Copies of this chain bind each other. A is one copy, B any other.
């Protein structure tokens, strides 16, 4: 009676959620994007229990989202760093952050700005090849032959 597996549902979204779909994983990734690298720093900044953090970091490493680097420095022996795959979650985390700010208000003292200009970022959007912004009503879901499925509501 183990938890349902999402990686064999024939769905990319389910497959993604199988890796980072729990309560903590994306928060760990977000914190890593803020620059956090060490175990204790994740623990204190997130307020996560040590055994859970341990488990989440192991899973993220197993899934190639983070790497565990041995640094023989001071009392800190390991660092957890994002891989390219992990850094590529920036879009997901940013979309999630903006969604929350739009619908739940600004709960965050922190703001994300362009490193060059210092200006706020543009909203993350779905676009077609020409750069036109698309909503869920503007897209079709088709199978490999191009046959359309039912439409969104």
A residues apposed to B, CB below 8 Å: 3-4, 6-7, 9-17, 19, 21-23, 26-27, 30, 32-37, 46-48, 64, 81-82, 85, 87-104, 106-122, 124-129, 131, 134-144, 146, 149-153
3 closest Cβ contacts across the A-B interface?
Answer: A35-B150, A16-B100, A12-B100
Q: What residues on B are CB-neighbors of A10 within 8 Å?
A: 107-109
Q: What residues on B are CB-neighbors of A126 within 8 Å?
A: 90-91, 94, 121-122, 124
Instruction: Return 29 A-B CB contacts under 8 Å, by A number.
Output: A4-B47, A6-B27, A9-B46, A11-B108, A12-B101, A12-B104, A12-B106, A14-B27, A22-B23, A32-B152, A34-B149, A35-B153, A37-B153, A87-B135, A88-B103, A92-B95, A109-B143, A109-B144, A110-B141, A111-B141, A112-B141, A113-B139, A114-B134, A116-B138, A119-B128, A121-B126, A121-B127, A122-B126, A124-B127
Question: Which of B12, B82, B107 contacts A97, CB < 8 Å?
Answer: B12
Q: What residues on B are CB-neighbors of A48 within 8 Å?
A: 4
